[in-house]
Amino acid sequence: MSEPALYDEKIELLIDGEWCQGSTGESEVLENPATGEALGTVPHASDADLARALAAAQKGFRVWKALTAQARYTLMMKAADLIEARKDRIGRLLTLENGKPLGEAVPEVQFAADVTRWYAEEGKRAYGRIVPARMANVRQIVLKEPVGPVVAFAAWNFPSSNVIRKIAGALGAGCSVIMKPAEETPGTAVAIARCFQEAGLPAGVLNLVFGVPARVSQVLLASPIPKAVTLTGSTAVGKELQRLASATLKRCTMELGGHAPVIVHGDADLELAARTLATFKFRNAGQVCTSPTRFFIHESVYAAFTGRFVELAAALKIGNGLEAGTQMGPMIARRRLAAMEELVRDAVEKGAQLKLGGTRIGNQGHFFAPTVLADVPADAAIMSTEPFGPIASLTPFAGFDEVIERANALPYGLASFVFTRSGALAQRTEEALDAGLVGVNHMAVSTPETPFGGVNESGYGSESGIEGLDAFLRTKFVSELAAL
């Protein structure tokens, strides 16, 4: 049997059930971040293409909404089966365009199948209720109905997870979608969309477009057709999309950036904490919105934890995600290497100790060494700027009130993590942390059935869980007087 093509997905737009290239002929090169080689080209949608996508979504919404929840369930389950059957191939595409190891990419595609099944099931439970009336012969009904066509924007760091939580959530609620995945990682989204098309999704229910993000968002959000917008991206982009959406009062779900604190109390299981945090800090080269970034370690265990954490980080195998045994791949783009170097330089100038890494690796691809900074002062840029890269910043703390104040000092509030053996201390810390997600003694804060979202400048609204379905539903109240 011959080897499969290195990158065998044709990148196309999906508009009104048809795969096509952009009508302008404009495109950009898709690069493999591990090698710098070109994988293909990404077509850009013209304003005319976007107008067709808007019209298609409006038409598709009427068709999709009219189907029963059971009919939508059946089709979505077929799509989930196709995604699962193709997870190895799609995972390979994901690794080629994103860089993460296959051991992370394939489970991420399986997550897409799991999320699709969850929303297919949950769509059958978009319950309303009967409210007892104050008058005789009156029936009061609260109904849940799909909000309308949805515009969705997804970041490149999780090309499968970010895309599917928006597509499947909208479809499960009965909405149509115009999806704009990241141009850095288009193939994963295209491959997933093909699964929905082959499962029999009606034309216009799912549309896929690429292009210059600012231009695409301006055109799509200026239209009155979409009734909701959902984004996974930076806080700055979230604020801009919210501004654009305000002109037509579109509902927004914003899953934005973070700067996750992790608190290791003095009674913590240090081996568990060090191993867990070394694994998750450098997952996807630290390009994770929930990645632990600000490490607050109790002074009584600070030296022991730091030594063990550095040891584990130094042992990580760095390389091409397609190679067996790779534990950390490249960063998404060359510009990110300079950003990492600047954060390290600034921290060291202000008194931090560079315990590990701090430099680029090799001259091919976009690799940056796992980096550990110790005794990082509060005024270092990395303590207020999310690194979104493989840098861990460690600092000791003495008391509970002090560490909570430092953990909550930023305007962000997505993920946070706690390590302790004490149930009482865990609960006290959970309640004090100003964050939408809290992991205690582990990092699993994202599953299909649990809500995922932040607070403050990390956004609002939730994806996944019943809250994720509700984001795509609106409430209608009916008060009905029986005919006499």
Enzyme catalytic residues: 255, 289
The set of residues, in sequence order, having a beta carbon less than 8 Å from that of 315 and lying 6+ positions away, is: none
* Two structure tokens written together for 16: 């009104």
* Two structure tokens written together for 253: 């779900």
CA distances from 143 to 101, 129, 260, 268 (A): 45, 7, 38, 48
287 with 331: CB under 8 angstroms?
yes
CA pair distance 241, 262, nearest whole angstrom: 30
Q: Which residue has the tokens 């196709």?
A: 82
CA pair distance 462, 232, nearest whole angstrom: 11
The set of residues, in sequence order, having a beta carbon less than 8 Å from that of 103 and lying 6+ positions away, is: 326
CA pair distance 175, 180, nearest whole angstrom: 16
CA distances from 358 to 229, 331, 343, 355, 369 (A): 38, 14, 9, 9, 6
DSSP conformational letter for 324: T
* Two structure tokens written together for 145: 């109905």
| Type of residue found at 153 | F
Residue 361's nearest CA partner among 329, 324, 398 is: 329
CA distances from 169 to 271, 285, 370, 476 (A): 38, 28, 35, 20
Residue 233's nearest CA partner among 174, 275, 180 is: 180
| Other Cβ atoms closer than 10 A to 361 | 17
Cα dihedral angle (142, 146, 151, 154), rounded to 10 degrees? 90
Q: Which DSSP string do the residues of 210-243 spell out, in sequence order? A: -S-HHHHHHHHHHSSS--EEEEES-HHHHHHHHH
Ranges assigned E (strand) in 251-314: 251-255, 260-264, 292-298
340 with 368: CB under 8 angstroms?
yes
